[in-house]
Structure 1
């Protein structure tokens, strides 16, 4: 990168507006966020509440990626209960965490009522496989073995914490799929309920957790040792009737700290009745000089600054969005998904798209359709200026993908980008990917 263009990039990023935090994913119900940073990308693993869930109905674990904290790409299910042949139940894919060590990626998965299993992969996208063919931890006298969190300290020792309502830990071996010694039960930090998230900052150890059920906020404790004792310091987010549950995941990314959790905001768009259909949110988190954490308001009262402009001059997966309420995604191949459930009147929004100094002159979309339809390309709002229209003709089936092209009115600089979907019926077409040309 030439130094002469650095001021322009810094100015562009600074001009990106903060947005009130809405659920990160709208195409599915997601919960129990477990973020991980790898190769300059956020890998956000989540659990998945089925669309018909009343109580907890959870069968697989999902993955979403981002480099700017506001636009997220759906990578589909990376593992499920089917990965564990020894399981005894067809429900209970609860809060997982993924961590990398020595080029391998380890996923620690609670199977509610069947203990905690571990999967391994060569890529953060999977495929994940079961290396031991049995639970890593299972105290069969109770159902407390849920919500594992794993941390590797600076001396190389790895720890796994977990538990509801009790709190346990073990020291993992270097292979990350076994442990030596006993399971240690700790005195629970004040207000601890479940969902621990373990990390280190400087010389202090932190244990964030879902607290004070119910409703649950996000509390945290600190210690001078990775094995405690733990002293509760307060709330990262206080309990509120606006959300029955919570579950923290915390990362440092590009100079800032972010906390992820969950709420019921998407569910509230459709009903006031309570169902376990949750949605992941996020907020920037900051520290006081003494290392304690500044308390945040509720998710929708927080804002997220876009970290960097979004580049449209490349292949962009159709399932990438900042907002797309009403849309769905389904697997296409590998971790690639296709955007589906596209109905007349719906739209997809991408935040902070950088059209550059010269603007875009054309757009291509790879789509499949039986009925056909069109994509009206707008900037700044759902009813903003039209810069182009992509006509999608029938391709004969929803599995037969073809490229469609349209010219664009040149639009320069930073804009939110809206794809507005139009046609005579619902389920108009699927979108695999799109790309703009300068």
Structure 2
């Protein structure tokens, strides 16, 4: 598939991007909106996987994971995050629990970036019972995972409240307590990453959602709110960012409702450039219909 602008794909509705750089390729994982036109509800059963060496020519891979692959889940293939660590690929995803009220975080595992992924632990990583001080049934949405420079993994997630915890050495359980992070206007859609010496926590801000971000010199905070990163994405009430550096440039993945019959429940993944200021803050992302040019290595004069 050749990308000729935004959205990246027009043959399926795609949402909630997460990106992984592995072996000189970008792997883009998305949810799949299946609500028919006129249906104002999220119908999401599976996730999709695409890969590219230049962000223009994309290959779609066989469906790598479905909500039904978790026997304890009742459905809802919501926002997710895929991480490579210690020779395995880990897929953290929000689903609905079959027996415990509310959303839960599932964990899939594979030996390849394209899967198929399987249930890593046979139960949920996080359920509503793990955060008894919050009765929000949507609390366990949108996991984002980062491997810090010392090899320690951390998970961020939440809805109306941002949560944060260490992961165990084998990635299969939480280690220690669940903490909260106070962020202005936090809705959902957390995405955490590091660039140079700074940690960044981006998230859906307000309702309908813009994207805002905070910065910290440590993964443990304190997090300093820096403002709006991306404005409202067309006729879509949600957004979930994913940010990555590739071949000398930086990219901002997001979704909007711009395809024919699109909207908040029929979304489409897009990508535009992201630029940093000298002090590490980020310039506001400009959403475009044209998108990006092919990603090629930046030449350095000798």
Structure 2 residue 287 is the aligned partner of structure 1 residue 303:
no
Report the equivalent of 1:110. Answer: 94
Who wins on radius of gyration, i.e. which is larger?
Answer: 1
Report the equivalent of 1:235. Answer: 228
Report the equivalent of 2:206. Answer: 212
Matches of 1:154 and 1:174 in 2, distance apart? 14
Q: 1:21 to 1:220 in 2, by over 3 A?
A: farther
Report the equivalent of 1:122. Answer: 111
Matches of 2:91 and 2:223 in 1, distance apart? 25
Report the equivalent of 1:84. Answer: 70
Q: 1:290 to 1:308 in 2, by over 3 A?
A: closer
8 Å CA contact 1:54–1:277 kept in 2: the answer is: no
Matches of 2:124 and 2:152 in 1, distance apart? 21
- The answer for unaligned runs of 5 or more in structure 1 is 1-18, 310-438
Name the TM-score, length of structure 2 as normaliser.
0.88
1:227 CA displacement = 1.9
Matches of 2:161 and 2:5 in 1, distance apart? 32
Matches of 1:63 and 1:296 in 2, distance apart? 25
Report the equivalent of 1:169. Answer: 164
Matches of 2:228 and 2:287 in 1, distance apart? 12
Matches of 1:241 and 1:129 in 2, distance apart? 35
Note the 1:366-385 alignment, pairs <5 A: none
Structure 2 residue 31 is the aligned partner of structure 1 residue 38:
no
Structure 2 residue 283 is the aligned partner of structure 1 residue 294:
yes
Report the equivalent of 1:142. Answer: 136
Q: 1:261 to 1:230 in 2, by over 3 A?
A: same
Report the equivalent of 2:132. Answer: none
Matches of 2:207 and 2:30 in 1, distance apart? 21
8 Å CA contact 2:105–2:127 kept in 1: the answer is: yes
Matches of 2:238 and 2:285 in 1, distance apart? 16
1:118 CA displacement = 0.5
Deviant stretches of 4+, over 4 Å: none
Number of aligned positions between the proteins: 282
Report the equivalent of 1:378. Answer: none
SS of the aligned residue for 2:292 comes to strand
8 Å CA contact 2:272–2:286 kept in 1: the answer is: no
Matches of 2:108 and 2:16 in 1, distance apart? 18
Q: 1:121 to 1:240 in 2, by over 3 A?
A: closer
Summarize deviations over 1:306-353 as a string: whole Å, max 9, x none: 1259xxxxxxxxxxxxxxxxxxxxxxxxxxxxxxxxxxxxxxxxxxxx
1:241 CA displacement = 5.0
Q: 1:240 to 1:33 in 2, by over 3 A?
A: closer
Matches of 2:243 and 2:279 in 1, distance apart? 19
1:210 CA displacement = 1.4
- The answer for unaligned runs of 5 or more in structure 2 is 97-101, 130-134, 298-302
Matches of 2:43 and 2:291 in 1, distance apart? 30
Report the equivalent of 1:429. Answer: none
